[in-house]
């Protein structure tokens, strides 16, 4: 579980450093990025039931309400599921034909605030909304880069910051998936080695019993 411990430690440090910055503002987009990062990077943790406790402990250490963070993240993901086209328009144009609060207000706040504190986790939240609202675009490298640049320009985040953060996020997801697969392969190989040994031990035990 060392891989997972490192994920939690890095989240703890990253968010703590954000919170001590006076310009940091918690919102639902940040919550979605925080929850998405935790959930994606702790897939495969055993026992599975402990993930809830770990998330709660992480939030407590950061003085977050874990239930509220989950609720805020779910509110946005549900919004993107219900109104995918409108959410994408809002992200790329700051325009929408339907009521999309609290997302619309939060995006307008980001775009209009001169000293807005951008963070990688907020970037992951924006990316998660795009994943839900337009998975086809996100799966295509060229289209993904184009839409991320549009979002960056729309929200005045700078042309490369969001793109670089998401590239790193995706790369790290690939790496941790490879690490999980390697660990699973090692466990399976060890199990296969153990089976003949256990069978041999059982046979020897039966032979001894027969001799008696």
Q: pLDDT, tens digit, for every residue of 42-61?
A: 988 888 888 999 999 999 99
What stretch of H or E contains 183?
helix 161-211
Residue 64 is assigned to a structural domain of this protein = yes
Residue 40 is assigned to a structural domain of this protein = yes
Q: Is the pLDDT of residue 159 over 80?
A: no
Residue 197 is assigned to a structural domain of this protein = no
Q: Within its chain, how far is the Cα of 172 from the centroid?
A: 11
Full residue range of the structural domain in which residue 122 is found: 2-184
Residue 180 is assigned to a structural domain of this protein = yes
What is the distance between the alpha carbons of residues 161 and 129, in angstroms, rounded to a whole number?
Answer: 17
Residue 202 is assigned to a structural domain of this protein = no
Residue 32 CB burial class (10 angstroms; 0-12, 13-18, ≥19)? buried
Between 6 and 59, residue with greater pLDDT: 59
Residue 21 is assigned to a structural domain of this protein = yes
Residues 59-112 pLDDT 10s: 999 999 999 999 999 999 999 999 999 999 999 998 887 889 999 999 999 999
Residue 199 is assigned to a structural domain of this protein = no
Residue 157 is assigned to a structural domain of this protein = yes
Q: What is the pTM of this model?
A: 0.85
Residue 92 contacts residue 119 (beta carbons within 8 Å) = no
Tally of structural domains, the chain: 1
């Amino acid at each position: 579980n060392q891989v997972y411990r490192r994920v939690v430690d890095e989240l703890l440090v990253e968010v703590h450093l954000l919170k001590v910055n006076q310009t940091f503002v918690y919102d639902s987009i940040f919550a979605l990025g925080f929850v998405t990062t935790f959930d994606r990077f702790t897939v495969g943790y055993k026992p599975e039931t402990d993930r809830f406790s770990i998330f709660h402990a992480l939030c407590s250490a950061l003085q977050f309400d874990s239930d509220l963070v989950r609720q805020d993240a779910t509110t946005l993901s549900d919004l993107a599921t219900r109104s995918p086209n409108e959410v994408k328009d809002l992200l790329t144009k700051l325009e929408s034909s339907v009521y999309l609060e609290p997302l619309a207000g939060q995006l307008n706040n980001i775009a209009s605030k001169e000293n807005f504190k951008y963070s990688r986790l907020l970037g992951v939240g924006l990316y998660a909304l795009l994943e839900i609202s337009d998975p086809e675009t996100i799966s295509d490298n060229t289209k993904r880069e184009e839409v991320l640049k549009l979002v960056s320009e729309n929200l005045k985040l700078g042309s490369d910051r969001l793109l670089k953060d998401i590239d790193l996020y995706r790369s790290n997801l690939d790496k941790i998936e490879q690490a999980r697969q390697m660990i699973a392969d090692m466990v399976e190989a060890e199990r296969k080695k153990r089976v003949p040994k256990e069978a041999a031990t059982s046979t020897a035990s039966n032979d001894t019993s027969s001799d008696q």
